[in-house]
Structure 1
Amino acid sequence: MENREVAAATAKNDVAPRTLTFKNKIAYAVGDVGNNFLFDMGQLYLLNYFTDQVGLPSAAAGTVFLVAKIWDAFADISVGTWIDNRTNIGKRGKFRPFILWAAIPLGMLLIANFTTPNFSVTGKLLWAYIAYMLFGTCYSISNVPFGSMIPTMTRNSQERSELASYRQAGSNFGLMLATIGFMPIVTALPNKNIGYTVAVVVFAIFGVLCQWFSYANIKENYPTPVKKKVSKEEIKASYRALLKNKPLLVVSLVNIFTFSAFNLKLAVQVYYCQYILKNTTAESWLGFFSIGMVFVSVALTPLLTKKFDKKMVYILGCAIWAVADILGFFFANSTFMLVFLTSIAYLGDGFTSALNWALISDCVEYGEWQSGIRSEGLVYSFFTYFRKLSQAIAGFIPGIVLAWVGYVPNATQTATALMGIRGLMFIYSAVLAVATIGVMLWLYPLTEKRYKKIVADLTVRRQNKQLAPEYVVSD
């Protein structure tokens, strides 16, 4: 009887209801445009702003990223725990209110990071630490709920892949606009200090507006019932369940590799264009074509996941990425070759980036199936904890390497410094893309067939009242 029930539930899961409209998907994508308008300023330009405008030593500036991102990682876990155990869920839902209320503080804190007062070096460094750590904390309060929403928006596996692709499209559209539009604003002003401030204010305003649009047009279709006050033992049980969630552990590990490589490349490309190509306008071309190429992979991802496991599409993306960056190390000596080879690398990265959010939603189901505990916020924040660690690495390593190879701001660089910049741009990411292939191939346990069986098991458990229903579809 049990097998028949599971088979029936599996069949039901294959045709699970599609709960999202096109408007919902666009709104979720626009939300990540706003996230990237606010977040990518730090990843793209803050290190360069610290070293070349504020006058902070390279190693000290890199350490700001290391400390702030480690702080952010723990902030993500704290926010995820808080969200999962809220007892005052109102009509706006479990996750949506955070997107609404955190937007303006987030925009103001971003501006503060690019308006360093004329203090001593020690004072400037202290300002950098405080402003960036506060920004990261506020970003956690906004972004952890935003990313945790997918399991409450749809249970359809294919629709989750589509939603993840829309989100990645929004993310990369925001990144592309930030890459193309930021520096022209900076250079159009009388001096770069004023230019940085004006540019960041423009992107902060549009970032807030995008987040509000997203809030108004997305919906929690499987709303969470209000919980009673949670005991410390229940919270501990939730943390123990995370450590037994093998798919989550694997996806979190490979994101240390892929996300640190991606963010390090974003931080270093400013230096690569300025000192190796001697063409600062190359960064705008790089943003338009290479990040634009991600849209191709985002469009292809749902098509590929209809025929192949998400795991294999993920590995394919890393293989394309690794080959392109190895070639880039040897041949990216002109703007054309840099843009061409980086575009191919970003095509591969687009598959991994688009699938991350779908894989994490699958990890939520796996965790509930394995432990009986469903915790979207905690699972997502655990994942972003490792992404923040990767960002810490991506911000710290360039500062240390630049200091080690003798980088001098706004000067002609030595051959050693130029080789250091080239290695950071290409070799680091190629090596980690190859490492990701190995980890996903040998350690990631979820196939589409197994995932459908897990969801079917959960359906049967709920029907048999072995687990209390977590959600009820809203009208």
Structure 2
Amino acid sequence: MANEMKKAAPFGMKDKVGYMFGDFGNDFTFLLSSSFLMKFYTDVMGVNAAIVGMVMMIARFVDAFTDVGMGQIVDHSKPNKDGKFRPWIKRMCGPVAIASFLIYQSGLAGMPYGFKVAWLFVTYILWGSIFYTSINIPYGSMASAISSDPKDRADLSTWRTIGSTLANMVIGVATPMVAYVVVDGKTVMSGSRMTIIAGVFSICAILCYIVCFKLTSERVEVPASNQKISASAIFKSIFTNKALLGIIVAAIFVLLSQLTVMSLAGYVYPNVYGSAAAQSTASLLGTVVMLVVCAPFASKLSAKLGKKELAMGSSIISALVWLVCLIWRPASVWGFVACYILANIGMGFFNTIIWAMITDVIDDAEVRNGVREDGTIYSVYSFARKLGQAFSSGLVGALLGIIGYTEATAFDPAVTRGIFNMACIAPIIGFVCIVLALAFLYPLNKKKVEENVAELAARRNK
């Protein structure tokens, strides 16, 4: 294995572009699910929103545990001629794409209600908790084997974010333009078109994974590990590390805000404003804001203000924007789009610096305990993110159920008012909770982070 890796070309643009395509492939199925699955099952398949949310929430809880299990499987696997992590991308790209496509089978809309719920449950578990996990965990871990240079790994992280952002643009812009049709003056989702879209995106996912596999190279040999991460170790890490607890709570509310807004967008634009084109435009502008505003300036602002301080400040601004939107209740969809874009800046800054905040948490733990716990802390954080996704799925389904949303009531004035209110109130609460979590649970302000960096540098120079 070592001899094979020595033959690899030096780290370069091929690896960066290849790694970018890995997350591009991931998000062809993940973002489709986050943005349109709830809408597809309530409006096309006729399943109650609360049930859809419950199924998605249960699956995400399962996913939280399978993530840790897959991490153990990958850690214990032995490298072959393709490396330790890359083989999983080649093995699982087909199953994850096929499972995603099976979720959106509009031809089953006429089947009995129980069958449709069971179909959603089985296909969603297969896609998210088994196949997506089996490709995403190795993909995320692969950066450490592509290069041992911290700068190279930072470049890979940046290119991964670019891949995710581009996928969001493709899916967010193209899907509403194709999936919705106007029937009797109402903008509704076409089931047959969604099935075709899911098939096309599944093929695109496979192609992206293949490009990732072909262009990347593992240069660092990562031998099979015998270390095990138990459930008790996970919970001990959470409740004995205040900084980790704080970032976990904040991250859960970021996901609740982000995924809830994404899911409700599929109801706000077509049902409240009757404009699928506006949803596409909002996704496009959101991508531009992320690439032009958040990505270039997040590191500079965090260096000047502090990561915690930047996250709190941008979250306060986002909460205020959504409050203005709730009070203003813009009659034009473009007023809502403007509020969405402005509020999205806060979420974009937090998402851009979150991985650097996790590194600060790892440094703080090493200062306090004298032990470097990268693997455990990253596993705990991944576990917590899946819980946030689970809560978001359940929340959206429950809220739609509370306001009485069904396929038959989708355009009733009382229901559309409820949709608008939820789309504003949910992120307001989420951003306020982020600020509170960072203020009272997360101790790593700019001064403390700088002290930890200096302390670790002094220890290593002894």
What's the TM-score, normalizing by structure 2?
0.84
Q: Distance in 1 between matches of 2:416 and 2:266?
A: 13
Q: Which residue of 2 aligns with 1:393?
A: 391
Q: Is the 8 A contact 1:83 1:145 kept in 2?
A: yes
> Alpha carbon RMSD of aligned pairs, Å?
3.1
Q: Give the residue type in structure 2 aligned to 1:266.
A: M
Q: Is the 8 A contact 2:363 2:372 kept in 1?
A: no
Cα distance, 1:106 vs structure 2: 0.7
Q: 1:242 aligns with which of 223, 232, 237?
A: 237
Cα distance, 1:418 vs structure 2: 2.4
Q: 2:175 aligns with which of 182, 188, 210?
A: 182
Residue 394 and residue 401 in structure 1: after superposition, are their counterparts in 2 closer, same or farther (change >3 A)?
same
Q: 1:438 aligns with which of 432, 436, 440?
A: 436
Residue 455 and residue 371 in structure 1: after superposition, are their counterparts in 2 closer, same or farther (change >3 A)?
closer
Q: Distance in 2 between matches of 1:385 and 1:311?
A: 22
Q: Is the 8 A contact 2:234 2:380 kept in 1?
A: no
Unmatched segments (≥5 aa) in structure 2: 1-9, 184-188
Q: Distance in 2 between matches of 1:390 and 1:184?
A: 29
Cα distance, 1:454 vs structure 2: 6.1
SS class of match (1:281): helix
Q: Distance in 1 between matches of 2:453 and 2:435?
A: 24
Q: Which residue of 2 aligns with 1:90?
A: 80
Cα distance, 1:105 vs structure 2: 0.9
Q: Which residue of 2 aligns with 1:113?
A: 103
Q: Is the 8 A contact 1:186 1:192 kept in 2?
A: yes
Q: Distance in 1 between matches of 2:215 and 2:182?
A: 36
Q: Which residue of 1 aligns with 2:276?
A: 280
Q: Which residue of 1 aligns with 2:89?
A: 99
Q: Distance in 1 between matches of 2:298 and 2:151?
A: 11
Cα distance, 1:61 vs structure 2: 1.4
Q: Which residue of 1 aligns with 2:257?
A: 261
1:122-161 alignment runs, 5 A limit? 122-137=114-129, 138-150=131-143
Deviations, residues 106-137 of structure 1 (Å, cap 9, x unaligned):
10000011016343100110110011011112
Q: Give the residue type in structure 2 aligned to 1:271.
A: Y
Q: 1:25 aligns with which of 8, 11, 16?
A: 16
Q: 1:402 aligns with which of 400, 403, 406?
A: 400
Q: 1:419 aligns with which of 417, 420, 424?
A: 417
Matched, 1:169 2:162: yes
Q: Is the 8 A contact 2:16 2:156 kept in 1?
A: yes
Cα distance, 1:161 vs structure 2: 5.6
Q: Distance in 1 between matches of 2:392 and 2:232?
A: 32
Q: Is the 8 A contact 1:167 1:354 kept in 2?
A: no
What's the TM-score, normalizing by structure 1?
0.82
Residue 235 and residue 270 in structure 1: after superposition, are their counterparts in 2 closer, same or farther (change >3 A)?
closer
Cα distance, 1:375 vs structure 2: 5.0
Q: Distance in 2 between matches of 1:167 and 1:368?
A: 27
Q: Is the 8 A contact 2:245 2:441 kept in 1?
A: no
Q: 1:36 aligns with which of 5, 10, 27?
A: 27
Identical counterparts, % of pairs: 24
- Answer with 419-428 or 263-272: which moved more: 419-428
Matched, 1:77 2:68: yes
1:198-277 alignment runs, 5 A limit? 198-219=196-217, 222-227=220-225, 229-230=226-227, 235=230, 239=234, 242-243=237-238, 244-277=240-273
Matched, 1:317 2:342: no
Q: Which residue of 1 aligns with 2:299?
A: 302
Residue 22 and residue 349 in structure 1: after superposition, are their counterparts in 2 closer, same or farther (change >3 A)?
farther
Q: Give the residue type in structure 1 aligned to 2:91.
A: W
Q: Distance in 1 between matches of 2:218 and 2:370?
A: 24
Q: Give the residue type in structure 2 aligned to 1:65.
A: M
Q: Is the 8 A contact 1:165 1:299 kept in 2?
A: no
Cα distance, 1:240 vs structure 2: 6.5
